[in-house]
Amino acid sequence: MKSRRETLSDQKPLLATLRGQRQTIPPIWLMRQAGRYLPEYRALRAAKGGFLDLVNDSDSAAEVTVQPLRRFGFDGAILFSDILMVPSAMGQQLSFGVGEGPALTPPLIDTALAALVAVPARLDPVYATVRKVAAMLDPHTTFLGFAGSPWTVATYMVAGHGSKDQAETRRFAYRDPQAFGAIIDAITTLTIDYIGQQIEAGVEAIQLFDSWSGSLSPAQFERWVIAPNAAITAALHARYPDTPVIGFPKGAGAKLAAYARETGVDAIGLDETLDPAWADATLPAGMPVQGNLDPLALITGGETLAIAIDRVLAAFPERPHVFNLGHGILQDTPIAHVDQLLARVRGAAA
């Protein structure tokens, strides 16, 4: 008779890996696996309208979430939504211009946080999507929810838009750390509740995206990345001890070791700039890792892709490993290259 641990490994290999059980064949999902590289996504988006129209229509968002599972059979489903749903619920107006990226108004660079009027109902469609997807998934598939980490979310809230170096927000944080700390605290508080509601609705693991953590100095990284992510993780572990948390501080570099030690996350996502062998030698023993194939290697395909895949696989001979990209899949990625990736990863241990 199989043990409960063995049964979990058979039924949900991704969830088992995130809980520390190494698999012979690493489970696989891809960041942004539901999106513009898929013709079925593009067709649905054209029919429904803009990006937010999809996110706020739970039937459509659920369909987008499961589209890549039907095509590729990934081991994980990632909720289709956006990290800026949190500032939207806090009272900023969220929009996506064609070819311009997201915009939040009013920007907090010149508007007080207290002036915002919260609209928590804006998160209700996300919870409805989670419930719908949870009812649709194969029992072998792990359902991942997510949220943006406070620093990354704050960069958009302060500037009102994305930027290459987050200069406006970094200046604001240095100039008025008390006011900026209040923004971080407010995001942290809502994020804990937001993720908790996702878990209650059916997600089984969580990823915290800190896409812009690489722009901070070590001291600022400790204050604005490690501290709030530690607070979120501690609160989630207290309420939902069986739900693994993946921390993904993109661009952290050498600061990744401190992040892993001090945030309390269960697993670490590695971006494509990190040497996976360095990560294996540096991170706490036994801590699961996720990553870190370069999305551009996936676009290139062929022998270049095969070599890149093998290098990532070879870096973690004993460590629990979830195969993924180092960041999101790009919209010009050929479908055939994703098929090649899956065949290579799943065939490597055959």
pLDDT, tens digit (0-9, with 9 covering 90-100), for 217-253? 999 999 999 999 999 999 999 999 999 999 999 999 9
Active-site option among 32, 170, 223, 319: 32
The model's pTM: 0.95
Q: Are 326 and 272 in contact (CB under 8 A)?
A: yes
Whole-angstrom Cα distance, residue 232 to residue 208? 9
Model confidence at 50, pLDDT cuts 50, 70, 90, reads: confident
What does pLDDT average to over the chain?
95
Active-site option among 36, 122, 311, 344: 36
Active-site option among 45, 122, 344, 346: 45
If we measure between CA atoms, which residue out of 344, 343, 328 comes closest to residue 33? 328
Judged against a pLDDT cut of 80, whether residue 5 lies above it is answered with: no
In this prediction, residue 163 carries a pLDDT of: 87
Rounded to 5°, the CA angle 321-271-163 comes to 150
In this prediction, residue 8 carries a pLDDT of: 57
The percent of residues in the chain predicted with pLDDT above 70, rounded, is: 95
Whole-angstrom Cα distance, residue 7 to residue 24? 15
In this prediction, residue 350 carries a pLDDT of: 47
- CATH number, domain containing residue 101: 3.20.20.210
Total domains in the fold of the chain: 1
Active site residue 36: yes
Active-site option among 19, 41, 57, 156: 156
Judged against a pLDDT cut of 70, whether residue 81 lies above it is answered with: yes
- pLDDT tens digit sequence for 243-297: 999 999 999 999 999 999 999 999 999 999 999 999 999 999 999 999 999 999 9
Q: 85 — phi, psi (to 5°)?
A: -65, -30
If we measure between CA atoms, which residue out of 217, 62, 40, 208 comes closest to residue 129? 62
Q: Return the structure tokens found at 155.
A: 């960069």
Over residues 74-98, the mean pLDDT reads 95
Active site residue 344: no
Active site residue 32: yes
Over residues 164-178, the mean pLDDT reads 95
What is the spatial order of strands in the sheet that 267-269 belongs to?
76-78, 142-148, 205-210, 245-249, 267-269, 289-293, 321-325
Q: Return the structure tokens found at 321.
A: 């490993």
The percent of residues in the chain predicted with pLDDT above 90, rounded, is: 92
In this prediction, residue 4 carries a pLDDT of: 44
Q: Return the structure tokens found at 138.
A: 């194969």
Over residues 175-184, the mean pLDDT reads 97
Active site residue 261: no
Q: Return the structure tokens found at 109.
A: 């660079």
In this prediction, residue 164 carries a pLDDT of: 85
Whole-angstrom Cα distance, residue 64 to residue 48? 12
Whole-angstrom Cα distance, residue 308 to residue 298? 9
Model confidence at 49, pLDDT cuts 50, 70, 90, reads: confident
The residue range of the domain holding 208 is: 4-347
Model confidence at 6, pLDDT cuts 50, 70, 90, reads: very low
Over residues 139-161, the mean pLDDT reads 97
Parallel, antiparallel or unpaired: strands 101-105 and 93-97? antiparallel
In this prediction, residue 101 carries a pLDDT of: 83
Active site residue 175: no
- pLDDT tens digit sequence for 92-102: 999 987 666 89
In this prediction, residue 10 carries a pLDDT of: 65
Whole-angstrom Cα distance, residue 163 to residue 141? 35
Active-site option among 75, 82, 280, 294: 82
